[in-house]
Amino acid sequence: MSGRAQLMWDEAVTGYDFGRDHPMDPVRLALTRSLVGALGLDRDVNVVAAKAAGESTLRLVHRGDYIDAVRAASADPGSADPSYGLGTIDDPAFAGMHEVSALIAGQSVGAAEAVWRGEALHAVNFAGGLHHAMPGAASGFCVYNDAALAIARLLELGASRVAYIDVDVHHGDGVQAAFWEDPRVLTISLHEHPRTLFPQTGWPEETGAASAEGGAVNVALPAGTGDAGWLRAFHAVVPELIAHFRPQVLVTQHGADTHFEDPLAHLAVSLDAQRAVQLACHELAHEHADGRWVALGGGGYAVVEVVPRSWSHLVAIAAGRPVEPTTPVPDEWRRQVYARTREPAPHRMTDGRWPVPWAAWDEGYDPADRLDQAILATRRAVFPLRGLLP
């Protein structure tokens, strides 16, 4: 197996553009790619452009009538059918929507194929992680669910145990729905509580169908949760379940919208804590999945201040050359940011919170603490179903 990581990238993915006033600004992808280059990470990864996902691949997750509806809206945006979630405020139709959505999906599927076949140990598609798309509908800025398609392709290639970890601020509802009845897939989502954030799902009681009990895991975090609580929750739930499940491949989604600067949600996580979870996912892949790791992007709407730095850290970790948090952001990149956005760029690859302190669950918990109540609700709902002590 090659130890060299793959970065999946095709400039055309920046055509995933819902319009000027939409939060999902494709400049975040372009700025991330240029920061990866400015940091010299291109020397440590193979940059690969995969082909767009074709009809048969899309049908691994999505219904044929929905794919047809996306094609129709892509050719004539004015004809978009809102019954398929298209032409809505969240998912406006735009010309070429099918083609670029299939291209993003193709990068995640290509990443999964490369890792499964041993062409790369790790593969990153930060343009992916579009985890809200359902089998028959667009949702939450997501047209095709590339994360679910990557997992479905791994199963098609012969994988019998795939674990999915989603640390986006929003519940990974589309991926959970795709594998709700499939015991071969373990989906774990840490997200802001559904009482206070879209998509209003991801309660701890959502644990999978009867055929896959304990296959869905949801940690619903109180609004305002910061670094210490976020890392405590991750480590109180995720490593034990991954160790028990023993996945052959680990697929992770790293939405950067948990950040305290993000305009669409209410967690208070720093770039440094995001980096800590990226490192933890990398470690879990090596401990339990023979290093096989597919890492995806996701949400993130602080498109200058947060997203490019967070996902550049992800690429660096996958490449085996983590960027130290104190590293200055290259001046050339900062100039480019200002030229493109007229916004000032950050100066360092940190929010000044590294290393991030947090308290381990096995050191004890406070039953009156809202965060600990959230952790305990998940452990009580899921762990016994998997033969583990809550």
Measured distance CA(121)–CA(115) in Å, rounded: 5
Catalytic one of 132, 170, 191, 235: 132
Q: Which two tokens stand for residue 209?
A: 């169908």
Contacts made by residues 196-199, CB under 8 angstroms, sequence distance 24+: 196/223, 196/266, 197/169, 197/170, 197/223, 197/265, 197/266, 198/140, 198/170, 199/132, 199/139, 199/140, 199/170, 199/171, 199/173
Which residue intervals of 146-192 are DSSP H helices? 146-157, 173-178
Instruction: Determine what percent of the chain falls in helix, strand and coil, rounding each to the nearest 5.
Output: 40, 15, 45
User: How far is CA 4 from its chain centroid?
Assistant: 21
**Does the annotation count 62 as an active-site position?**
no
Instruction: Output the CA angle 316-320-324, nearest 5 degrees.
Output: 55
3-state SS assignment for residue 282: helix
Which has the closest alpha carbon to 62: 168, 126, 147, 164?
147
Helix (H, G, I), strand (E, B) or coil at 219: strand
Distance CA 87, CA 69 (A): 11
Distance from C-alpha of 172 to C-alpha of 220, rounded to nearest angstrom: 11
Buried b (16+ CB within 10 A) or exposed e, 136-160: ebbbbbbbbbbbbbbbbbbbeeebe
Going from the C-alpha of 375 to that of each of 125, 194, 264, 300, 370, the distances in angstroms are: 30, 15, 24, 24, 9
- The Cα–Cα gap between 136 and 104 comes to 18
Whether the CA torsion 220, 223, 229, 231 is positive or negative: it is positive
Cα 152 from Cα 248, distance rounded (Å): 14
∠ CA 199-128-174 to the nearest 5 degrees? 30
Question: Which residues are catalytic, by number?
Answer: 132
